[in-house]
Every structure is written in structure tokens, then in C-alpha cells.
Structure 1
Amino acid sequence: MEPTASAALYPPPSQKRRSASTTKADALGNDVLCMIFAFLDFVQLIRCSAVCKSWCAAINKLKLLQIQYQKQRQLESAGLHDGATCSERSINLQMEQLAMERQRLSLQQGPVDVFKWKGHSVGFNKCRMKMGLVLTGVGDKVMRLWSAESCKGLDEYCLPDKAPLIDFDFDEGKVVGLLGTRMCIWRRIGTRDLFSSRDGLFTSGLCMRYVDPLAAVGCEDGKVRIYDMYSRKISQIIKMHPGSVSCLSYTDEQLIISGSSHGGISMSDLSSDQRVATLRTSSYADGIKCLCFNPASYLLFAGSTAGHASCWDLRTSRRLWDTRVSPNVIYSMHHLQNDKSTLVIGGIDGVLRVIDQDSGEIISRYIVDENRNPSHRSTSKNQNPSIEHKQAIRLSEDDQDRLYLTPSSRPPITCLCVGMQKVVTAHGNKHIRVWKFRGK
């Protein structure tokens, strides 16, 4: 497709968007929505309020959040007195705090169901999750979109040619992928368009992070190249490391953070092309495999090739803690948006670990119970094959010692993403796993 296709994906600001056609959900009206929402608890209401603007407006207008919060406080004997009133902002804040507390407790204790199904014809090793949707790929010639709740396949995005998919991300309207030495964009809504930049745009790109309209690509030569999707050009080239860039992260203040295979972490300001700070882990020999930035607390987390997890406060560039949480490589770490308490980590040993963001202490460790026979259920026609259902085992300290000494046959966790009371993992094979934490 010609490069002019990008005009359809990125119309000029003055061009008005076409109004979306009315859906069946939109036709229900506030009264019917109120009757439906009245049956939900506060966590389910929070999820519903994130679906669309009309649902959020209905929930806020009918003050269901306030009612549910008062009921919850009364049950906990914490006392919102009859007739007490709170501002909508205060209610939403406290509802968010209650949701984050439930998230922490669910990851720390209680039963865990693990659902596994074949998602690709060949092995893949990356996954991304937003708004309850999971996008998987890298290794196969197609990216697939799934529902994290129902485990059903929703859509797929085929690669245009034999160029390898290196990294990807997505939002409400598009999927952005780094393919070989160029960038591709798939439209998710309306007419299915594919835009491809010219080949040779990047030099040995290894990783990508995307915040509309910019995509940052970490390269083998230690530089980060910023691709502007509106101009379809490289707008900046920033020298970050003497070695290759292995992972990237963004902040809301236009800081780009990169980790190196040589062990350093660098931050640069996109507005000035100036390096802001250089961070290092306790071991200079450890390569950095993954980064995770929490905008709610301004903390940066890093995982290394030697199994170390580290944390810095970016406001002071001071390292807060460094803990060896795994005997081997940490491939991925992630947390729920606005969660300032827990961080989920996965690596080569296949153990799913939950650690405390403030201290680096390991809260819980989970593996799949492979000794119990799984149950199976089939999904609707033309979706995905049967889903295998197993239970996860929460490991004790004695179990952890045994894991350090015994070679593991578990598949490595090559990538993970965290949702509300769930974690999705990729393992470098054909299967996707969704870990659902029910709590006590």
C-alpha cells in the first residue's frame, strides 16, 4: 500500500470524525442500564465505567458508585453515616483505593485458576493487554486479539510479508508493529487499512514503545530512534548506551527510559535530546531485560539477566531497593494501572512471582499444578480450540528452596501483562495462559 494510506489513519486535526453508528448497547437507555448496573458490585462497576463514555456517564449520573461505596463501608463498619454526602471525585478516589486493595489481596492469597489454549500455529513470545483485550504475537506471521475474560479470539492482523515481527503495541484504533527495519500500522476500526513505512528506516531494531503519535525504537547500535507517525519520518536519534538497547519505557513528562544489555539504564528528555540521568543496578555485569514505570508513584522497576529486580524513585534518581527474586533471567514485569502495591514478575524458570513495590519483598509465588488432570471446555465455532483448565499452586518458602535446586521442566514466562485479578502470560510456545485470581 502506498504511504499516503497514513492520511486515512491520521487525518488532519481540522477533519471531523464521522459519527459512529448506534449500537445495541447504546440503544438500551439510562433506565435499563441502571437496572443492570444495580446487580453489580463496586469492582464490576469500575470495570463497566471504563467500557465507554455513555456507561461511565450513566453510572456517575445515577450515583451508583456512591451507593455501592456506602454499602461497602457499612459492611466493613467503617462508617459512612446515613445521609452523608461525598463529592464524585472523592468517591471515585476511594473506590479506586478499594479496587487496588482487592487486587493486592487477590494476588497474595486464595485460589488461582489457569486457563490455557492454543493461540498460534507456531511459538510466540509477546503479549500486550488493554481494556480487557489481549494481543499476542512475535514468532508467528499473525497477531491475534483475544478477550481476557472469555478467552475467545476476536480478530487477527496478518504481517504483510516475510519481515519478522519484533515488537508491537495497540490502542483503541490501531495496532502498531515493528517489522524488521520498518514500522507498520493496522487500523482496528472501520475499513481495515495497513500502512507500511519505507524499509531500512531502523538499524537492527530490538524493542519498541508506542505513545501516539510517537514510536520509540531501541536499536542494536545503542541509539533510540523516534518515529513520528504523522510526518512518517524519524524525528530524533538519541544515543543512549554503548551497547544495544534491550528494553524501553515512557513517562508522561516525555522522558524516554532505556535499558542496555550491558547493564545500564539511561533517561533522556525528548523535548531537548538531553540525557537526564544514568542508573545502574547493584551488579554491573547484569544486563537489563525489562523495564516497568509506574506513573502513579513515579517508581521505575527493572529486571536483569541474573534475576535481580531493582527499583528507583525517578524524582530523586535514588535506588530504593535491589532484590534477587529469581535464580535466572527475568524476562517481564508489569502491574495494574494505578496499583502502587504489587508488581508481577516472570522469567526463565516459569514461576509467576508477586513482589511488594515498596520493599521488593516476594509476596507470593505460583506455578501450574501439572499433576492434576485438567478439565476442558469448548468455545463457540470459529473462535479458538478447547480451553484447558488447571489450578495454580502457591509455593511456600520450602517449595522455593526446592525449585532453586531442581531443574525445571516448566516453560519460561517470556512476557506477561496484568489486569484486574488476572495475569496473561506468553511462554515461547503455541499456548496462551490466563491466570485468574479469585481471592478468598
Structure 2
Amino acid sequence: MSSGSAFDLLLDALRHNAGRRRWLQGASALALPAWLATANAQGTAASAVNAVLRVGRDHPVKTLAAAAAQAKPGMTIEVQAGDYPGDVAVWPQDDLTLRAVGGRARMLANGAHAQGKGIFVTSGKRMTIEGFDFIGARVPDRNGAGIRLERGSLTLRDCRFQDNENGLLAANDPAIELRIESCDFGAIAPGDGHTHNCYVGAIGKLTVIASYFHHGATGHLLKTRAAVNHVFYNRLTDETGRASFELEFPNGGLALVMGNVIQQSAATENYHLIAYGNEGLSNRRNELHLINNTLVDRRPQGGVYLRMAQPAQKLRLINNLLHGKHELPGGPDREQHHNYFVELDSFIDPDRYDFRLRPGSPLFGRAVDAGVVDGQPLRPAMQYQHPCALKEVPAGTAYTPGAFQV
């Protein structure tokens, strides 16, 4: 695939939200990472089916629950913008696309839940949900989710999760694939440490792009047991929250973590930002590649950037910027270089979570090529732009440590 066609495919994948959000700045073709070349793969089958079911106050079908009962595989369900209180649903159909039209569709739990699990329960293959807000999920076992992914595959695009016991909760099934694009996870409901902004079970693959995880409450911002994890160009900033880990891979797996801003709050009860292998390495392949991230520790007593409870088969820390303790222990088990400790005044506006380097920083141009893993180049072609967007890194930009190149 040429670089131009890959870029066109990305624009197609994000087209439905272009009127609501600035996804990209600039539209010139460029050599994109491999994950962008398949940006809308899960929606391909659904796009071939013309059946449209319209839902909302101005249509015969008024509720999502009624739409779920009537939906056929391959349908597009267009949901009129507005509030849908107590409107919970189970979606077993394959190749469905749920799309908010005319604004946001706000799913307000208001004490209701589907199957005792959450607002939406999905089990269909190649399902896509776009432009929805999931708010206030509560269930009797205190593990309620905005979305409970039980089986199949799911793409979330431009969705928001607020005040849920779990934002999204995915089951343990190696056949599941989950893709999260430009979504907002937070703030989470107060919990007992078992609720998380996003909790992904032992699935086959997780891809997270251009998303925002923030304001945790004792649990983690993003916890994933997936066998393969691509976590690219996101903002995981606990800010004034009380999250435990910002990012955790409790069972290892292949984790490519590139171009992320990861910040630990002053109120955290846990001093680790990222954790790997805390519950044993249960995957066949266990590699952690931390490339071009900006890690900011605001814990007054100081924290630890990375906790390795189990040694990975491969551990690489390259081109990261770090604020906090000037401690990044090395060892024979890791490839670790071109990481730089910086003070807060190195950033443009750290109190407002703008962790771009100031103009004139001596660090511009001091990154090195981190190579390729499984065909995926580990040099940023994009960077996160708040809120929940991507910005192109122009060709010829000086290659710089940290999440931001421009």
C-alpha cells in the first residue's frame, strides 16, 4: 500500500467525526505506521450493507433497547443526538455500526443495566460504535461498565465514558479484538481499587490511538491483559485523580507503547506509573517497548517509572523524557538509551498538562531510530493533540525524545 492510500484510509475511518473534532492538521500523504493502514478494517463488512435503522425521538424506533431487538447483522443504526436515560441494550449481531447523528448520543444509566453488566453488552463481530457517551454505570456487584465486551470484535470511535464503575470492561477471550480511537475515559466513579477507567481482559489484540485517560479513583487508568498491545499517541494523565497505575500489563504480552504522555498525580496511593508482569507472564510472547513517551511523576515523595515484576523476553526503553526522580535502573535484561531527565520548566505549561518541550530546548534532534517490530516502525509519524486528536509530524522534523515532535 502506498503512503497516500494509507492516509486516505485513515481519513475514511475518521470521516464521520470530522465535523465535531479536528482529527488531523494537514492532509498531505506521508509514510504512516502499519496500524493506520488498517484503521477501518472492522467496519468494512458493515459498510457493504445498506440497511439503516434510525433511532430517536423523531423516529418510530425511540430507544436503543428497541433497536437492539430489531437490528439485523450488517445494519447501520443512526441514533439521533440527545439523552437516552435508562436505555440499556445487548448487541449480539455481527457487522453492526452504531453512529450518533447531529451531535452526541448520551446513554445515561440512571440505575438501569443490561444483564447486570453495564449500559451496553456487545458480543458481535466487527461492531463499531461512534459518537456515544456512556454515563453512570452501576450494577449490584459494583463492576458496572459503560460497555461490556463479551465476545467478537469492537471498534470505538469518539466515545466518552464518565462516572462509571468501569469505563469499558472486556472479557477474557483470545478471539476478541478491541480498537479504541479518539475516546475519553474518565472521570471514574469512586471505587475500592477494582474499578478502572478501562480494563481489558486476556484478549487477542488491543489497539489504543489518540485517546485520553484521566482522573482515576484507586484503580488503574488503563489495564490490559491482551496478548498484543499497540498503545500509540495517547494521553494518560491522572491530573487531580487518585489512580494506582497509569498503565498496567499484569500478564505481560507484546506491548508497543509509543508517543504517549503519561502523568502520575500528586494524590496517587501507588508510586508506579507503568507496571508489567505483576500477576505473572501468561502470554507466549512477552516484550515491552517503551519508545518516545513523556513520563511525568508529580508524586511529592517520588515514584518509579516502571515496575518489572517479571523479567520480559525483551525490554526496550528508548527516546523517553522523564520528570521526577532521576532514577531509571539499568540491567543486562534491557536495552536502554537516549532517555533524558528534565525539570518541569523544560515544558511549555506543565500545570496545564502541556508537556511539549519549550522552543530552543537542547533536546530537539537527540532521538535515535528504535527500529521496527513485526513490521511496525517505532518512530512517531503522529503525535497526540488534545483533546483526543492526532497531529501529523511533517517529514524532515528533527527527531526528538518524548511524545511530541512538533
TM-score by length of 2: 0.32
State the structure with bigger RCO (CA 8 A, min sep 6), 1 or 2.
Answer: 1
Quick check: which one's helix share is greater? Answer: 1
Rg: which structure is higher? 1
TM-score by length of 1: 0.30
